[in-house]
Amino acid sequence: MLRIVLALALLATPAAAQTLRVGQIGQQTGTLDPHRATATPDKGPASWMFDGLVRFPPGSADPGTLEPDLAERWERSADGLAWTFTLREGVQFHHGMGTLTAEDVAFSIRRAATAESSAFAGDYRDLAAVEVVDPRTVRVVFRQPVPSALGLLANYHGGMIVSKRAAETGDFAQRPVGTGPFQFEAVEPGGLRLVAHAQHFRGTPKLAGVHVRFIPSDQTRELAYTAGELDLFIGRREQRWVERMKQAPNTVVEVFGPGEFRTLLLNTRSAPLDDIRVRRAVIHAIDVPGIVRFVGPDVAQLWPSPVPPGYLGAITDVPTYPHDPARTRALLAEAGHPQGITLKAVVSSITAQLPIMEVIQAQLRRVGITLEADVVEHATYHARIRQDLSQMTFYGAARFPVADSYLTQFYHSRSAPGQPTMSLNFAHCSAADAEIDAARSEPDPEKQAALWATAQRKIMEAACSLPLYDLRQVWVRSSRVALGYALEGAMNLAPPITAETALR
């Protein structure tokens, strides 16, 4: 009888909280500051430590589903310029840094809009003012209607809310303070430790913490998982690998969006690519459908337009350049290069990029185009392309799913290297500046969509880039990991780890 009582007592006792072990790509965390976290390895951990005024529900990347987060409610003015947010009462920052106030929110948004403190400042160029109405009320005012205004204030990129006190007094990039379900504990060689934020406003997390291990090699991450050293890890975005991992015991493979849209940007300022005939020749030489078949249909979606699939305003009716080696040779000869050309590209060594660039290199070689690849570690790749050292830049990114975000960052001249508002326009494209600007201030949705469509067609006509495919996210988890939601999408390139996530 005593044994039965003891057994029942044990069953009734909650299991001790456990630490989730996560395998992330890369060698080490780059920055823990959410307003500077642009690299894939940094975005996930930032999203686990910080909240926004509003949030994408866990498992969703649909902007139509945004819901209250640090703000319990909000109102928009009739002209769409002013947004007033009422904050939840009593939200606590990590490490005893006090209660969230409108001052923290205003500071965070201004910080996100400042180039010296944010990698996303260009997204906030239409921000006119951030006003503290009272300790729990903040008003955000724009100069003109912004298509993704609420998205700028969500739990993504510049929308993360930070502690004003912590950001002003310490090394915030290495000791961040937010309000999220997990708080920073320590950076260690090749790793990052987070612990549960017991005072999180959604409740004490079911996990004791999160231990992130940075492992550059896909094979090594997989081996660590099969050895029982990881519970969740970023996988290899290749069809055969996904199919093989689906056969592993007690394993769940999560394939979700939004994808990181893969684009090959051609530097229109760099000879011989400053000749549109040469750019078109390069594009005609590349067999994009063949590349997509190589990657695999579960993880890659062929897409012809500069704006990724699923984004508001994206179209497919754009000028295209089918794979045509004969046309490539004719255009090169017409441009004065009958013997071919040599181009230089900085290429990341990660498996999501290097194999594709090797395929492209081989395709170009067949038509007399030599591509000299400078293969470097991923962080070095990011540094060098921003120094304008690559004539062809293979880039993958996910942004708030509205055409404006992609067009502005990748194709407006003010986003080119060397500009004060530099972002990701490695093509130095300026073909659609007028339409991109006009669309931002156009209140009529139909006219706005028409401007975005014209912009996409002009960019393709100018051969600024070759859109390749949308590469979906691939993560693998043990069946012991209960995410607490159905994973259909995640804006921060990693599964959300919430207060409800647990290990069974």
**Token duo for residue 459:** 């960019």
Q: Is 5 a residue whose pLDDT tops 70?
A: no
> Which residue in the block uniquely carries the two structure tokens 């990052």?
192
Burial of 233 (0-12, 13-18, 19+ CB in 10 A): buried
Q: Strand pairing partners for 395?
A: 263
What is the average pLDDT value for the chain, to the nearest integer? 93
Q: Is 3 a residue whose pLDDT tops 60?
A: no
Of 206, 218, 203, 214, the closest CA to residue 483 belongs to 206
Q: Is 19 a residue whose pLDDT tops 70?
A: yes
- 246: Cα separation from own chain's centroid: 25
What is the pLDDT confidence band of residue 15, given thresholds at 50, 70 and 90? low
Residue 145 has a pLDDT of 81
Q: Is 297 a residue whose pLDDT tops 90?
A: no
In 366-472, where does DSSP find H-type helix?
378-386, 403-411, 433-440, 445-461
Q: Is 349 a residue whose pLDDT tops 80?
A: yes
Instruction: Please give the Cα distance from 148 to 127 (Å, whole number).
Output: 12
Burial of 302 (0-12, 13-18, 19+ CB in 10 A): middle
Conformation bin of residue 388: beta by default, left when phi > 0, alpha when psi is -120 to 50: left
What is the pLDDT confidence band of residue 53, given thresholds at 50, 70 and 90? very high
What is the arithmetic mean of pLDDT over 374-398?
Answer: 95
pTM for the model stands at 0.78
Instruction: Please give the Cα distance from 241 to 22 (Å, whole number).
Output: 19
450-462 per-position pLDDT tens digit? 999 999 999 999 9
What is the arithmetic mean of pLDDT over 30-39?
Answer: 91
173-193 per-position pLDDT tens digit? 889 999 999 999 999 999 999
Of 347, 462, 350, the closest CA to residue 394 belongs to 347
What is the pLDDT confidence band of residue 70, given thresholds at 50, 70 and 90? very high
- The three-class DSSP label of residue 379 is helix
Residues in CB range of 413: below 8 A, 6 or more apart: 419, 425, 428, 429, 430, 433
> Which amino acid, 484?
G
In 297-444, where does DSSP find H-type helix?
325-334, 354-365, 378-386, 403-411, 433-440
Residues in CB range of 54: below 8 A, 6 or more apart: 66, 67, 68, 69, 71, 74, 150, 153, 154, 155, 159
Instruction: Please give the Cα distance from 365 to 328 (Å, whole number).
Output: 12
- Residue 14 is given by DSSP the state P
**Token duo for residue 276:** 């549109």
